[in-house]
């Protein structure tokens, strides 16, 4: 599994008012700016990764302050004892690691995607309880909220909306099923044992990347000739998402579930915005008819009321394209 983790230590006094010698641990696949923000705001970061991922993590060593603040370790979400050892002495865990499929088809969805997400989260929470972690933030996904055919058409989806498990199974939406079941179990487990767990459901993340290889969000690049789905897409800048995750950890009053999304717009509209700023690239010209069955309209009022904010979409577009140009992704 491509799971990774950070042990974090605050620069200032942490949320529970102990001195800053206490540590945190963040489990993540840091494809973009989350690690960068952690290093800017935290004194010590421990990155845990699975065997075979050393080259993928090379960009993290180049981050500002990485030499003195970043330490790399190997771990596995299925290794309960290893997680306990990693979390020992930590006051908080940010759990972001989950397999993100490059395909919708699986030979064995239970083994390939369901078990890593569900059992991995279960191991993390059990380890947190074992070593007396004070607070856990679990990053879920918008798909754990949006795939619900019973939700009234046109009504914004908030924290009360959950993906329909049977719908996901019937339509083989295995990633959505994995995130939904893992998030539900995390919240139910928290109530059962008294562990302070908060979950966040981000929409599609966009923005500048840290690594030098293309990830799933860029694999769908178009040469302008293929037909493109004109779907409604909810997006959030990965830097704003990283800030939201830290905010949920820091705020003592954060509780339950949070939707995290900045904008919802049709594919055709998004393409037009990018093309208006960067007209010299090839863009999709042929679009399918919109499918209103799976809308992506989210209500983020709960997170905004906690103090979160997000940047203009145009800023994200400019920063992203310039970043991709510098990395020679096009």
List active site positions: 179
Cα–Cα distance measured from residue 201 to residue 205, given in angstroms and rounded to the nearest whole number: 11
Query: What does the buried/exposed string (b/e) look like for 271-310 if buried means 16 or more CB atoms within 10 Å of the residue's CB?
Result: beebeeeeeeeeebeeeeeeeeeebbebbbebbeebebeb
Dihedral angle computed from the Cα positions of residues 93, 99, 104 and 109, in that order, rounded to the nearest 10 degrees: -100
Tokens 């993540």 correspond to what residue?
A: 28
Alpha helix ranges (H) inside the chain: 34-41, 66-69, 80-87, 109, 115-130, 143-146, 165-170, 174-193, 216-219, 238-250, 267-277, 301-305, 313-326
Tokens of 67: 């030499």
């Amino acid at each position: 599994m491509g799971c990774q983790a950070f042990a974090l230590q605050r620069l200032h006094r942490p949320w529970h008012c102990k001195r800053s010698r206490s540590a945190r641990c963040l489990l993540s696949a840091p494809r973009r700016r989350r690690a960068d923000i952690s290093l800017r705001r935290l004194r010590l970061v421990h990155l845990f990764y699975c065997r075979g991922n050393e080259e993928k993590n090379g960009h993290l060593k180049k981050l500002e302050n990485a030499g003195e603040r970043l330490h790399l370790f190997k771990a596995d979400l299925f290794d309960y004892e290893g997680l306990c050892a990693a979390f020992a002495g930590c006051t908080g865990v940010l759990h972001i690691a989950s397999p993100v499929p490059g395909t919708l088809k699986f030979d064995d969805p239970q083994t390939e995607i369901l078990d890593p997400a569900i059992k991995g989260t279960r191991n993390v929470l059990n380890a947190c309880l074992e070593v007396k972690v004070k607070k856990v933030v679990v990053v879920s996904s918008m798909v754990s909220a949006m795939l619900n055919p019973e939700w009234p058409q046109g009504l914004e989806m908030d924290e009360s909306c959950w993906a329909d498990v049977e719908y996901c199974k019937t339509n083989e939406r295995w990633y959505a099923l994995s995130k939904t079941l893992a998030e539900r179990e995390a919240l139910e487990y928290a109530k059962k044992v008294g562990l302070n767990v908060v979950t966040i459901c981000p929409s599609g993340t966009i923005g500048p990347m840290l690594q030098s290889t293309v990830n799933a969000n860029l694999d769908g690049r178009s040469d302008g000739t293929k037909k493109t789905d004109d779907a409604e897409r909810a997006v959030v800048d990965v830097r704003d998402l990283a800030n939201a995750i830290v905010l949920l950890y820091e705020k003592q009053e954060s509780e339950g579930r949070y939707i995290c999304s900045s904008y919802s717009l049709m594919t055709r509209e998004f393409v037009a915005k990018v093309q208006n700023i960067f007209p010299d690239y090839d863009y999709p010209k042929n679009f399918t008819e919109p499918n209103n069955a799976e809308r992506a309209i989210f209500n983020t009022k709960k997170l905004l009321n906690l103090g979160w904010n997000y940047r203009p979409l145009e800023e994200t577009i400019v920063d992203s394209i310039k970043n991709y140009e510098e990395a020679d992704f096009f």
